[in-house]
Structure 1
Amino acid sequence: MTKKLGMLKLFKRHHEKNNIPAVPTFKQNLQACRFVDAGKQLITREDRLFELKQDGIGSKMKLVEEEEDSEARLAKDYEEWLELVMHKLENSLDIQSPDEQELLKEAVQAMLQEEEQDMRWEGFQENGRPPWRPRKCKQNHEALLEGLVKRRMEEASLNSSVEMHSFPIICKAKRLEEDLLKVVTWVSSCYPEQENVCQFYATLYHKIFSAELREVAEYTLCDKDCVLLLQLVNEDYPNILNGEKIKKVIDQTKLDPLLPEDMIAPMEQQFLTTFEREVSTCLHKILDREETAWKEGELPQLRDQVYCCDQAIDVIQCIHINVECAQKVLGNEAKAQRITCQMRNFLTDYKAFHAKVIRSRQTNTEAVLMVNLSFLIQCRDYITKKAHLFPEDVKSDCLSLLATMIENSHRHFTSNMLMELKDLYRKVGSSEWLKNSDGICEELLAKLDGHIQKFNNLDKICCQELLGGMHKEFLAEYVRKMMKRKIKLSNKEQQQMAASLLCINSERMHTYFTEAGSNMDWLKDIVPNLAGLLKLQDPDSIKLELVTLMKLYPDLSERHISAWLRLKGNLSPSDLKNIQKSVTCSQFSETQDSIQLSKSFFSIVKTK
């Protein structure tokens, strides 16, 4: 006995000297949350128990002597171990520190270790493996997480950041996003990559959230809730999955649609019908407001000496805000285009109002038409710039309506201009003009200046376009009066003098209009080019020059050429006939430069 105690003391001193740590017991591993080591110990005991059990009844004494173990005790220890492991797994989404993250990683590895042990016994007959295998730890783990997700979604409740009219589904969406971010940030690194835990969680949340949405969608929804649900499906939820962190670890193609098409379609129809009605109401309120103000004789307000065009801001905002909202809610640009169809209906009604204003003789008519012109141009520019928001037929119809109204406005103002200048225009191309072309030009411009001063209150873009049109009409009338053949230039000297006067007048008129705001710079060469024909005396030279002019101005007709050349009194009838014949026979390419085609001028110069 003394010898035995001495050996124990010796072993103890040797143990301390070599500093060999004692192997932790199962209980110690469990208390320290070393789940993997504790699990290995359970597996070793399991293997030993099954081995002894297979050896027969005679081995039971050996079991007591060597392990002092039993199936009942193993089951109890396993139950205690499993409870702690599953508890850690169940609290996966409560992790807030790296230490807690390490504990979860330990629990995951322990669970996978158990799964491997199950796989070791695969292929064995039932009587050839322990009766408690397979334990299906991973399957239980997945069921546990599914229950966790369901519970967390059920617990999601309204909070102060959510408006009262919204239903709890918003809070569930918020919980879904928060939890998926926790999975990405804290949980994913605790699992092996092949487990694809982010996709697993995303699938669970997606399935539960989809079921919640379907339940809500089965009821008849008010307009607000319809919008909210569509927005969740088409905007908010995709935004969650496309978040910077989440989209990298989730394959969205493996997720079913949140709602089936047969549920989405009626809600989209309800939404679009409501929005169309609201947009139509808004637009016609704007029109009613403008028509009432016009009828009551109100003048447009000035801001920084420029007419305010509030209806342009209101109409464009009404269309743009609502169609952008529809795009987000529906998640589809083509479907949202139905909203912009209301613009066509509105402009059709606006055209009737515009025509009434033009026909009226009220004191505020001119000012209202100027503001309307600014409105029309802004709408045209918006539709052109945002063409993708409009169906092709709607865009075409809207632009056509706007072009007609803009043209009618221009015609109104230019007609008034020409009416005021009518008496002075009679002198153009007359013998009086030959004697005093400078004076007549000066009178024309002075009278014109008094007419266009009223456009000073127009915004720059609108004024530029209007003055450009007036510039063109003013010059066209000038050329038309010259073609009236009130004079006949019988010799070279008269023709050169007339050409020189035309060039001088042309430069003065062009300078006036461009300084006033016109951007029609290409008009400056028309009169000098026509004047050049007066200078030429050789019929062949005239033919060549005409070929050049017809290329520059495709709308220059035989009638225009004939009227202009008849100013040359020394051109014989046969020469004139030959020139006209050569012009008629000239063939030009049908494909004209688009810039040249846009420079249509002679088509508005009417000759008899």
Structure 2
Amino acid sequence: LIDREKHLFWETAEANKEAVEKLAADHKALEERVWQTLQQSLSLSSEEEVSALKSAVKAINLEEEQDQLWKQRCQTPPAWRPSEWKKRHDEVLQKLVNGRMDNPSSPTGDQVNQSSIQADIQSMGRQLKKDLQWVVEKVKNCYPPEMDICNFYARQYHQTFSARLRKIADFVLDDKDCSFLLRWVKEFYPGDLMIFIGRVLDEAKKEWDQGKEPTRDDGCYISPVAYDVIQVELYQNFHEDIIKQNKPHSKAFIKANISCVEQFRDFLVDRNLFPEDVRENCLPVLTEMKQSAYTYLLTPVHKILKPHYKKLGTSDWLKKNTFEKLLNSTEEELQQLQGSSQSSYQELIGQLHQEVTEEYVRRLLKGEVKLKDSNQQQKAYETVKENAEKLHELFGSKQDWLKEILTKIAEVLKLQDIPAIQMQIVSLGSAYPDLSREAQTSLFPAISSSLSGGTPRRSQANREI
């Protein structure tokens, strides 16, 4: 169908109306067949149905690619473009999950000793467990890894079941129903979900042990362990083990984990699905995982940049090519850091930008280079200001304050009046309290020595600084 579409609209001067109508009808027929097949995803009973689901998924992805190609063309698309089958796919499966949770087929257990509310909760829970096991065993093999179908279903069931439980909780419950509901929320439900989560995590560990790199999606490493990892400590152990072993493919897994941690953190914070104590317990763990990932990925970068750091703040530093070498090496390392999602990558290189700037300031404030006259002060001012601009441009960072702090230091370097120097350093310390008092004070003798031919007198204002 896509080949016919390309021929009619891209390779022919004027599309034949009858051929277009026939193509539209065939496209509509295929679309209906795809949605019918998707609706059978959780009840596949033969190899033919499994094969049909694989074909339906492939068709959806091809339609998405064709939609993107049409966006790049400057001509009127056919009536069925954009088809947005991926969006419709998600809607169909969401409706499928809602229907199965509204009318669970699993036996409800001992209804004689249960209220209708207890029976409904238990029946939905069993349906959830059964369906998620089916997804892992059957449905997953029909999808490419980048579609992350296991997590998609887990999110849908989690959201649907959570919504049903919240709705039940709005009723006036008797003590037995209330106790049963609380036990489900605190004990049974997390346990059932962990069966699914455990299997996904086991698969991730198996790939790691076999030396395989994680799957890529649009060039980014992805991890199947996302969103619903309630017992996040297990994931942290897996994460730290990857770092500790430091295998050739460790960096790829850590980049995938950074994206996963970001997703899970957003899910915890932005959605009212978890109790406050769960969020309070999980968020520090996720923060630790992110920091350990940053340290693991950025420490080798600083080792490579160290020879260039050593020349900052020295007489060689005022020569343009010295800083250019630092920029070139940093740019090469930025390429090596790619692999996580775009937002995670930007946050990672933003951290590197901050650390490089801190090292720049640290080396500059050691005062190894003495500015002996106003010409050298002006040269130092221009150098720091230019360096700040180029660093900001290289990292494409939104952290304007990093450029501002270097610019303010540059302003201090060109001042000729001692009281003005003192006031500017005080202002610098107030604006950036993380800049140590020792670092602030070291600026003064490095600059003001040029004004008096030697070390200046320590005025009361200087002593206060």
Deviations 1:191-222 (A, max 9, x none): xxxxxxxxxxxxxxxxxxxxxx886449x979
Distance 1:534 1:579, change over 3 A: farther
CA distance, structure 1, for counterparts of residue 310 and residue 270 of structure 2: 44
1:493 match: secondary structure: helix
CA distance, structure 2, for counterparts of residue 270 and residue 168 of structure 1: 15
1:354 lines up with 2:228 in the alignment: no
TM-score (structure 1 length as normaliser): 0.48
**Partner of 1:373 in structure 2?**
258
**Partner of 1:382 in structure 2?**
267
**Partner of 1:504 in structure 2?**
386
Match of 2:210 among 284, 289, 296: 296
1:449 shift after superposition: 1.6
- The answer to whether the 8 Å contact 1:534/1:565 transfers is no
Letter matched to residue 277 of structure 2: D
Match of 1:287 among 201, 205, 222: 201
Deviations 1:566-601 (A, max 9, x none): 322336655456444323xxxxxxxxxxxxxxxxxx
Match of 2:417 among 534, 538, 555: 538
* Greater Rg by CA: 1
**Partner of 1:559 in structure 2?**
438
1:300 shift after superposition: 1.6
Distance 1:264 1:423, change over 3 A: closer
**Partner of 1:305 in structure 2?**
219
1:310 match: secondary structure: coil
TM-score (structure 2 length as normaliser): 0.62
Distance 1:216 1:399, change over 3 A: closer
Match of 2:280 among 390, 396, 421: 396
CA distance, structure 1, for counterparts of residue 112 and residue 273 of structure 2: 31
CA distance, structure 2, for counterparts of residue 354 and residue 295 of structure 1: 13
Letter matched to residue 207 of structure 2: A
1:423 lines up with 2:307 in the alignment: yes
**Partner of 1:590 in structure 2?**
none
Distance 1:167 1:562, change over 3 A: closer
Deviations 1:406-441 (A, max 9, x none): 11211222211110011121111111222x2x2112
Deviations 1:209-243 (A, max 9, x none): xxxx886449x979844859xx99x969x89xx9x
**Partner of 1:521 in structure 2?**
400
Letter matched to residue 175 of structure 2: E
**Partner of 1:459 in structure 2?**
341
Letter matched to residue 283 of structure 2: L
1:456 match: secondary structure: coil
Distance 1:261 1:361, change over 3 A: closer
1:352 shift after superposition: 2.4
- The answer to whether the 8 Å contact 1:488/1:567 transfers is yes
- The answer to whether the 8 Å contact 1:227/1:271 transfers is no
1:495 lines up with 2:377 in the alignment: yes
- The answer to whether the 8 Å contact 1:223/1:271 transfers is no
CA distance, structure 2, for counterparts of residue 308 and residue 493 of structure 1: 53
CA distance, structure 1, for counterparts of residue 216 and residue 125 of structure 2: 40
Match of 2:364 among 468, 482, 494: 482
Distance 1:576 1:359, change over 3 A: farther
Letter matched to residue 362 of structure 1: K
1:530 shift after superposition: 0.4
Q: Where do 1:26-425 residues align within 5 Å? A: 165-166=106-107, 216-217=114-115, 224-225=122-123, 260-266=174-180, 268-269=182-183, 272-312=186-226, 316=227, 318=228, 343=230, 346-386=231-271, 388-425=272-309
- The answer to whether the 8 Å contact 1:370/1:458 transfers is yes
- The answer to whether the 8 Å contact 2:222/2:259 transfers is no
Distance 1:577 1:407, change over 3 A: farther
1:541 shift after superposition: 0.9
Q: Over aligned residues, Cα RMSD in angstroms?
A: 3.5
Distance 1:168 1:394, change over 3 A: closer
1:448 shift after superposition: 1.3
1:374 shift after superposition: 1.0
1:502 match: secondary structure: helix
**Partner of 2:134 in structure 1?**
none
1:470 shift after superposition: 0.6
Letter matched to residue 522 of structure 1: W
**Structure 1 segments of 4+ aligned residues over 6 angstroms from their partners:** 220-223
Letter matched to residue 280 of structure 1: M
2:346 match: secondary structure: helix
Unaligned runs of 5+ in 1: 1-160, 170-212, 243-255, 320-342, 584-608
Unaligned runs of 5+ in 2: 1-101, 127-159
CA distance, structure 2, for counterparts of residue 168 and residue 413 of structure 1: 52
Distance 1:292 1:580, change over 3 A: farther
1:469 match: secondary structure: helix
- The answer to whether the 8 Å contact 2:258/2:340 transfers is no
Q: Where do 1:572-587 residues align within 5 Å? A: 573=455, 575-576=457-458, 578-583=460-465
1:424 match: secondary structure: helix
Distance 1:366 1:577, change over 3 A: farther
CA distance, structure 2, for counterparts of residue 461 and residue 292 of structure 1: 28
Distance 1:164 1:395, change over 3 A: closer
CA distance, structure 1, for counterparts of residue 113 and residue 420 of structure 2: 87
- The answer to whether the 8 Å contact 1:539/1:575 transfers is no
Distance 1:225 1:575, change over 3 A: same
- The answer to whether the 8 Å contact 2:301/2:333 transfers is yes
Q: Report % sequence identity.
A: 26
> Number of aligned pairs?
325
Letter matched to residue 541 of structure 1: A
Letter matched to residue 395 of structure 2: F
Letter matched to residue 512 of structure 1: L
Distance 1:264 1:427, change over 3 A: closer
- The answer to whether the 8 Å contact 2:108/2:120 transfers is no
